[in-house]
A and B are shown apart, each in its own frame.
Chain A
Amino acid sequence: MSPQEARNAITSLIGALRRSSLEWVVREVSIAIERGIEERGEVSFELFDDVDQPISNRRGRKTEVTITRPLTDLEELRLLLFSIRAAIVDASDIQDRALRDLQLTDAPNPVIVFRPDVPEGFEDKGYSVADAGRGHPFEMTLEGIDARRDSLEKIRHLLKNLEDLVNAD
């Protein structure tokens, strides 16, 4: 895949994520892209004269240093695909595994509900748990996961095909 094709794919994927209410994935990838890649390298530190020119015969020994470089278009696309897989496929596998691991003989269809722990009457006064960074109440059931399973398998397969295409060259 050429850098231009990678750039086009990145733009299309970001648009798809935004239209699918997955802004948070775009936000997380943006932070990683902006941060760049940290690598180790070796540099010889030199001494400089009065006019800021290196003193050629006073080159120091090579020293290990840290470098930050931007991601290439292909690296960026791979990161984006990794992030979609994590946010959609892995997150769903985690839900499934969590529910199955908690499955009991006397609770064959476990339900997990999440509720914010805020002071009593918090919302009655007009405050919002979302504003307080306490997440949203939600529920998880095996039936809910089973209902999405076919679509998830399809996405898993499509992502694999796209990854193969990116890694083909």
Chain B
Amino acid sequence: MPTSQELIDAIEAGLGQVVRPGVSTSSEACDTYEVFVFALILEASRRAGGQVSFRNIVDRNFNGVFTFRTGPGNIYSRLHPYTYARIDFANSRPLEAHIGIYAAGVSGVRHECDVAVLRFDEAENCRRSQVHPRCSEIQLSVECKFYASELGIDLGRSFLGLVKEIHQYHRFFVTNSSSATLERLLAHHKIRWQREIIPRRSDLVNRLRASFEEVFQNYTALA
């Protein structure tokens, strides 16, 4: 059995093979995590009967390269051919799923939505008028938190403030990590949250996907 020091030395040697300096950063992990949750939402929409296709903001033609923002931006931004998903349902108005867009809260102040699903009509109006979507028109919004360590309570406080501004209904706090304190805070305020959303926790991933699926089911039922 190797000693702990021998194992640590071997881990360090392995890190040299997988870490890309300047690329393997916290922000890269966060950006990737949003795409993972975005894909999960799309899968939920398919299970609820939706048909997913991809478009880019510049000319709507998707060429197989997904372009996403490294931070939040404007839904109407044409700086890069940012990709979004269009979700068509048989008897309901189409929806769109976006990564990292601003939305206007009830006070009129803009807020960041890591992943947001909204009606196509709202999104198209916003693109044409170059304005932010209204939070009342966001059908589903997810705050994604990828942390190597435990989450701080400040993230929960911040999310409580956010849902006060962008409505509480169908808003999710999703993380790869966990924190008993933060979970107690969110649960106390009846906020929807899910911890340990990572590929190897398929039980929790499936539970979250089912919650997303329910949102789409309600959307099509009310159409």
Contact = CB atoms under 8 A, between A and B. Distances in A.
Interface stretch (A41-49, A53-61, A94-102): A94-102
Contacts, number: 207
B108 interface: no
B100 interface: yes
Given A8-B5, A116-B69, A21 B32 contact: no
Interface string B5-22: 101101110111111011
Given A20-B19, A86-B177, A9 B70 contact: no
A117 interface: yes
Interface in B154-210: 176-177, 180-181, 198-200
A90 B32 CA distance: 11
Interface string A156-167: 001101100110
Interface in B50-101: 54, 64-74, 77, 79-80, 82, 100
A40 to B, nearest CB: 9
A9 B79 CA distance: 47
Interface string A1-38: 10001001100110011011110110011011001001
A136 B22 CA distance: 8
A86 B147 contact: yes
A28 B26 contact: yes
Contact of A90 (B5, B54, B67, B198): B198
A142 interface: no
A20 B11 CA distance: 10
Contacts of A102: 35, 39, 66
A115 B74 CA distance: 13
| A interface, over-half SS | helix
A148 interface: yes
A5 B4 contact: yes
B148 A24 contact: yes
B14 A151 contact: yes
- With most chain B CB atoms within 10 A of its CB, the pick from A31, A35, A129, A135 is A135
Given A91-B146, A94-B198, A161 B22 contact: no
Give the dominant DSSP class at B's interface. Answer: mixed
A129 B31 CA distance: 15
Contact of B11 (A29, A110, A115, A159): A159
Contacts of B148: 24-25, 28-29, 83-84, 86-87
In the complex, which of the residues A8, A94, A152 has the most CB atoms of chain B within 10 Å of its own CB atom? A94
A125 interface: no
B4 A162 contact: yes
Interface in B23-64: 23-33, 35-36, 38-40, 42-43, 54, 64
23 contacts: A13-B11, A16-B11, A32-B149, A86-B148, A86-B149, A91-B24, A91-B32, A93-B200, A94-B146, A97-B36, A104-B64, A107-B64, A112-B35, A112-B67, A113-B65, A113-B67, A115-B79, A117-B71, A117-B82, A151-B17, A155-B11, A162-B11, A166-B4
Interface of A: 1, 5, 8-9, 12-13, 16-17, 19-22, 24-25, 28-29, 31-32, 35, 38, 79, 82-84, 86-88, 90-98, 101-102, 104, 106-107, 110-118, 120, 129, 133-138, 140, 148, 151-152, 154-155, 158-159, 161-162, 165-166
Interface of B: 1-2, 4-5, 7-8, 10-12, 14-19, 21-33, 35-36, 38-40, 42-43, 54, 64-74, 77, 79-80, 82, 100, 146-150, 152, 176-177, 180-181, 198-200
